[in-house]
Amino acid sequence: MSSSRESAVTGQAASRAWSSLEGAAALAAPPLAGKRRAFDGRVLLGFFLPVFVALLWEAAVHFGFAQGRLVPPPSRILATLWALAKTGELWTHIWVTLWRILVGFVLGAATGIVFGALSGSSETLRRLLDPTLQALRAIPSIAWVPLFILWLGIFEASKVALIAVGVFFPVYLGIAGAILSVDRKLVEVGRVFRLSRIKLAQRILLPAVLPEAVIALRSGLGLGFMFVVAAEFMGASEGLGYLLVDGQQMGKPDQILAAIIAFALLGKIADSLLVLGTKPLVRWQDIVRERL
């Protein structure tokens, strides 16, 4: 009698847990209209610090407290950006850099997801793959440059390969770590309901992994922007990295800072687009940030 009562209690608990899981797994559910928040001006707060520093430095140079020779004032940097934009040179460099980052990011992220999923889901594969990948991760990015030039030449293939390497490792670590950190009780609930491996991955593992996977993709994208600079040092004649090298060789600090600012703006825009694109996948999360 007691055993049947315990079985009933266990079944009720599993049913409640399963209902919670089904609610969490409804990734495509539309958001509640009441949760839509109008623009309240707080977005502008993020512009306060860079604008304040720029105005402060502009005033320091204008009133003679600094020379502005090695660190030009914002007015000179904006004038350089405007001159490059008027000739169309800036847009050419931006397009070439973005194309390299896009291709490298897609290749590196796809490979990182595959290897991370294999390493996180199988202990045997993890013991086989992880030590080698962790050792490769410790190699500095610049060390790959001569090898990729030797293998792939000095043109686009070597640059894209270097960016893909930079993207691969954070995505691999994030996916593998996310799978390994899935709550064991959630998996046990799926086994109670006798889900197949595919259904288990679809209904339990995937929703649990997605939030950390998005963070891993964002980290990989950030490293992609860092690695593209090293990639464009490899004999490039176009790209924002080339603008950096050209400014250094010609002694133009305003051009160097203009390229750095362009990198910063493009990186922020790309990260924001990635967050917006993946937001529907993690819409089910009930987190503090969404309630503030």
pLDDT value at residue 291: 46
Q: What pLDDT does 22 receive?
A: 52
* pLDDT one-digit tens code per residue, 43-83: 778 788 888 999 999 999 988 888 888 889 999 999 999 99
pLDDT tens per residue, range 91-105: 999 999 999 999 999
pLDDT at 284: 67
Question: Over the stretch 117-175, which tens digit does the pLDDT of each residue have?
Answer: 899 888 899 999 999 999 999 988 788 888 888 888 888 898 999 999 999 999 999 99
Mean pLDDT of 235-240: 83
Buried b (16+ CB within 10 A) or exposed e, 126-151: beebbeebeeeeeeebeebbeebbee
State the average pLDDT over residues 225-237.
Answer: 84
pLDDT at 95: 95
Instruction: Give domain 70-291's CATH superfamily.
Output: MetI-like (1.10.3720.10)
Give the pLDDT confidence score for residue 35 in this predicted structure.
44
**Residue 65 DSSP code:** S
Residue 220 has pLDDT above 90, yes or no: yes
Longest dimension (CA), the chain: 91
- The rounded percent of the chain whose pLDDT value lies above 90 is 41
Q: Can you give the pLDDT at residue 189?
A: 77
pLDDT for 15: 53
Instruction: In whole angstroms, give the CA distance from residue 225 to residue 97.
Output: 9
The answer to whether residue 86 scores a pLDDT higher than 90 is: yes
Whole-angstrom Cα distance, residue 46 to residue 48? 6
- Cα–Cα dist 109/115, whole Å: 10
The reported pLDDT for the residue numbered 7 is 46
pLDDT score at 36: 46
Range 122-131 contact pairs with CB under 8 angstroms and sequence separation of 24 or more: 126/176, 130/176
R_g of the chain, CA atoms, integer Å: 25
pTM of the model: 0.79
Note the pLDDT of residue 238.
Answer: 87
- pLDDT confidence tier of residue 84, bands split at 50, 70 and 90: very high
What is the overall mean pLDDT for the chain?
Answer: 82
